[in-house]
Amino acid sequence: MTVADLETLGPGDEQVETPRDSSGKKITGRSPSRIALERLRKDKLALVSAAIVLVLVLMAIFAPLVCKIFGIGGPYETNGAADLEFGYPRIGPPFHGFTWSHPLGLAPSTAYDNLARLVYGLRVSLGVALGATIFSTIIGIVMGLMAGFARGWLDRIISFLIDLFLSFPFILGALALAPIITSHFATDENKLKWVQLFSLITVLVVFGWMYLARLIRGQVLSLREREFIQAAQVLGAPTSRILFKELLPNLIAPIVVSISLTLPGYVAAEAGLSFLGIGITGFPSLGQTILRASQGGYYDTYPLYLYAPVLAVTVLVVALNLLGDSIRDAFDPKTRR
């Protein structure tokens, strides 16, 4: 209490002391978000997973700098036949010792640097996953809010769309939709890589927004009967204000948890679709590298060529999944660790 507060106290007023715990520390209120962040800071698995994700993300963002440190020009730098002998690199693995200029060796047949393809492939995978996560989250939130708050035909239509997309096989839809988008919008080779990029994000968004929409709808069905929502309706608040000012702030926890679990799924999906040949071909991709290594038979004589991108995808997806599980546990008030 300040001096000004003491001066305003009347003769009959009493000074209310701040409550303290058994150790003598003041007891202060904490928001649910602050409680969740404190639980995350105490979770060692979350900190390790976050550190791994941070390192991989920084490698992807600063891919040109990583290549510059090792003296690599980029993912497409090659001397062609001068770097190859019978299809295999003349320097580095699998038949030669370690070299700083190419720490992961060169790719057979093309002589591309494997480290450059790895960090640029991480950039593409994270970029696609992040873009798909943002758009699918926005669509899922809007559709879930509308379906949960609306009554009657609008709720039935949105619920039918959610069930329809959930029942459609993702791989089958990707195999059918991605080539159609590419063939209709790719007019030349220069535009092809960008069309493939946006078509892949479109496929992931089209078949990924329903899970969050169903989750938000279920939460809104219970929240719309609460007193603060009924009070806002009685006061004549517009529907848009009720949805985005009253309901949405109470859905931050499930949205954050959904994002943390959706992102690794999209990373794995991008690598899987690129491996199947319906993903991205104009940009360096981890899925492409895995496909070439498995088709060319290099996994026997040149295991590093295959295992480096496989390990990168595995570590990234596992770290994101573990971090997502920790975030879910931190935001769940029923969880105790």
Query: What is the residue extent of each domain of the chain?
Result: 56-331
Quote the pLDDT of residue 2.
45
Pairwise pLDDT comparison (58 vs 182), residue with the higher score: 58
Question: In the predicted model, what is the mean pLDDT of residues 291-312?
Answer: 81
Q: What is the DSSP letter of 315?
A: H
User: Looking at the domain 56-331, which fold is it?
Assistant: MetI-like fold (1.10.3720)
Average pLDDT along the chain: 79
Report whether pLDDT(44) > 50: yes
Res. 145: pLDDT tops 70: yes
Work out the average pLDDT over 79-83. 60
The dihedral through the CA atoms of 58, 63, 65, 67 has a sign that is: positive
- 3-state DSSP assignment of residue 277: coil
326 Rama sector, left if φ>0, alpha if ψ -120 to 50, beta otherwise: alpha
How confident is the model at residue 114, as a pLDDT? 84
Torsion of CA 133, 138, 143, 148, to 10 degrees: 100
Secondary structure (H, E, C), 58-104: HHHHCHHHHHHHCCCCCCCCCCHHHHEECCEECCCCCCCCCCCCCCC
pLDDT above 70 covers a percentage of the chain that reads 82
Neighbours of 280 (CB within 10 A): 22
Q: What is the pLDDT of residue 116?
A: 87
Amino acid type, 74: G
| Adjacent-strand bridge partners of 85 | 88
- Residue 108, preceding bond cis, omega within 30 degrees? no
The answer to whether 104 and 308 have CB atoms below 8 angstroms apart is yes
Contact 195, 186 (CB under 8 A): yes
Model confidence pLDDT, tens digit, residues 246-261: 888 888 888 888 888 8
Does this model's pTM top 0.75? My answer is yes
Which stretches does DSSP call E strand in 84-187? 84-85, 88-89
For 175, counting Cβ atoms within 10 Å of its Cβ (0-12 exposed, 13-18 middle, 19+ buried), the class is middle
Per-residue pLDDT band at 6 (split at 50, 70, 90)? very low
- pLDDT at residue 180 greater than cutoff 80: no
Name the nearest CA neighbour of 36 among 256, 313, 290, 305: 256
Please give the structure tokens belonging to residue 309.
Answer: 């991108």
- Provide the token pair at 259: 């994002």
Q: Could you report the per-residue pLDDT of 117-134, keeping only the tens digit for each?
A: 889 888 888 889 999 999
Residue 229 one-letter amino acid: I
Distance CA 258, CA 236 (A): 32
pLDDT, position 225: 80
The answer to whether 141 and 212 are in contact (CB under 8 A) is yes
Contact 113, 102 (CB under 8 A): yes
Packing angle of the helix pair 114-149, 44-61 (nearest 10 deg): 120
pLDDT band at 8 (very low <50, low <70, confident <90, very high): very low
Lowest average pLDDT, out of 220-224, 308-312, 328-332, goes to 328-332
Closest C-alpha to 212, from 154, 288, 174, 158:
158
Rounded average pLDDT over 149-158: 85
